[in-house]
Amino acid sequence: MMMSSSSLLLLLRRSLLSPYLLRHSSSSLSTPFRGQIRLFSSKNRTEFATKHLNAGIGRISTFELESAKGSWIYTTCGKKLLDFTCGIAVTNLGHSHPGILKAVHEQLDKYVHAQINITFHKSMIDLIENMIPIMPKGLDRFFFWNSGAEAVEAAIKLARSYTKKKNIIAFQGSFHGRTFGTMAITSSKTIYGNGFGPFIPGVYFAPFPYCHHCPVNRAANKSCDAPVTDLNNNITDFKCCFEPLNQLELMFKQQTAPEDTAALIIEPVLGEGGYVVPPKGFLKAVRDICNKYKILFIADEVQSGYGRTGKHWAVEHFDIIPDILIFAKGVANGFPLSGIASSQELMANQIPGSMGGTYAGNGVNCAAAIATLKAFKEENILDNVNKRGKQLKEGLIKLQQKHKGVITDIRGLGLMIGVEFEKTRTGFSNKVVKECVNEGMLLLTTSCFESVRFIPPLNVTAEEIEIGLRIFDTALQKALA
């Protein structure tokens, strides 16, 4: 019997595709023809992604995100999880905030990309007008970029070009990024730089006052250890030895002379290094040292800024004004936008063309940032941060009392709370995070010590905080079993 041309074509197709089909079962793959989408099961999709993504990417789960709303995410396999990571302090007003989405949709109809080296654009100018009132006094000149690491590098470029000096002082436990420039000033974990050196020269590290691990404090049997904050997030008078200040002064005599030092860069609250709040008076003393030696003070507020600590900027808790302030992460609630703010004196003399970037200050991202600030005002976000931060800290203290000897430190400001476990429990923080995920909550570890960090949305509800505390309690119990 003669076969039709269409039947012959189908037979030929099947014969050519048979080796391909043998490698992929029909239950996990359909429509394998060229130009068509391959449909995998949920498990096979994540296995496929793992196979084809860089192995250097770490993650705490293998779920595939389907959608997200507020404090919750929903996976393709039907799981609902409370998100107390906020994409590492990025979706600070929760996922899919309606006001921000509305602003983005409206901006999409106007323009998406407006290259700042070519022309000004409205959403960036509007953003500057909205940001100036919340900035520390005198920081009214801006440069916008995409990521936190890029903004850190922009700050270093500005410091070197203004001072005509080369060296940079960073602090132990700091995290400033994974680019070549920022790896050089990052010391929270060796993993971020392991195998990638050599890095840029001229970087020196000073000790950060991590009082929970201070050798002076240990020698004094914790007699100088006191809560960094009270339950209202007010910084207490901290009986600190301030040995890190002595070491900083010694650094100028032994390692980098003030005449060679362009800037000092510090996170007002350590981020990836452990959510460590410095004792009261430390940052003010560092600011005074910078003034004395004519060294620029750079505040990296990528994680601690934009309301995370209960004020617009963490430096406000310490009554200091940096020379350069770095912002990113939550500034546009999930849309990639970062930048630096400084004074007219520092920024006015940079050579035109020396700063820039293809997507710097993208039009849509600037519109999202404006809507974020609008939501801060209309929804009283900072008030909620302080109320929910107090609630979270009180709940964690109760769990510390319940699980005696397990939690050794609870610290932080606002909704930037770190919890540290007894140091001999190697791998315990990872176990807790795993159990939290199993129980329906995303949580992250932090620092080279056994610690986790709570980064809930700034508009998180009281009920969601209670849910998170119950899940954390259950996770602790399972990790201890």
- Check pLDDT > 80 for residue 34: no
Candidates 71, 144, 157; CA nearest to 331 is 144
Domain of 88, in residue numbers? 65-93+382-480
> Which percentage of the chain shows pLDDT scores above 90?
78
| Amino acid (1-letter code) at residue 377 | K
Strand pairing class (324-327; 338-342): antiparallel
- On the 0-12 / 13-18 / 19+ scale of CB atoms within 10 A, 192 is middle
* Residues contacting residue 317 through CB under 8 Å, at least 6 positions apart: 235, 268, 309, 311, 413
Q: Is residue 451 part of a domain?
A: yes
Please identify, among 378, 408, 431, the residue that sits at the C-terminal boundary of a domain: 378
134 and 257 co-located in one domain: yes
Asked if residue 327 and residue 221 are part of one domain, the reply reads: yes
463 and 374 assigned to the same domain? no
Same domain, 360 and 399: no
In a domain, 136, yes or no: yes
Count up the domains in the chain and report the number. Answer: 2
Average pLDDT over residues 343-367: 94
Helical pair 462-480 and 381-402, crossing angle rounded to 10 deg: 30
Residues 244 and 318 in one domain: yes
What pLDDT sits at residue 13? 44
Question: Would you say the pTM of this structure is higher than 0.85?
Answer: yes
Q: Is residue 27 part of a domain?
A: no
* 382-441 tens-digit pLDDT: 999 999 999 999 999 999 999 999 999 999 999 999 999 998 889 999 999 999 999 999
Under 8 Å between Cβ of 341 and 127: no
Q: Is there a single domain that holds both residue 226 and residue 262? A: yes
Q: Is residue 161 part of a domain?
A: yes
Same structural domain for residues 358 and 446? no
Q: What tokens appear for 155 in the block?
A: 């700050």
Eight-class DSSP state of 457: -
Same domain, 435 and 374: no
Q: What is the pLDDT of residues 256-311, one digit of tens each?
A: 999 999 999 999 999 999 999 999 899 999 999 999 999 999 999 999 999 999 99
451-474 pLDDT, tens per residue? 999 999 999 999 999 999 999 999
83 domain-assigned:
yes
Please name the residues in contact with 122: beta carbons below 8 A apart, sequence gap of 6 or more.
110
Quote the CA–CA distance of 109 and 52 in Å, as a whole number. 35
Do 321 and 404 belong together in one domain? Answer: no
pLDDT digits (tens, 9 = 90+) for 118-138: 999 999 999 999 999 999 999
Tell me, yes or no, whether 272 and 395 share the same domain. no
Confidence of residue 223 (pLDDT cuts 50, 70, 90): low
> Please, which pLDDT band fits residue 50 given cuts at 50, 70 and 90?
confident
Question: How much is the pLDDT for 12?
Answer: 40
Could you tell me if residue 240 is inside a domain? Answer: yes
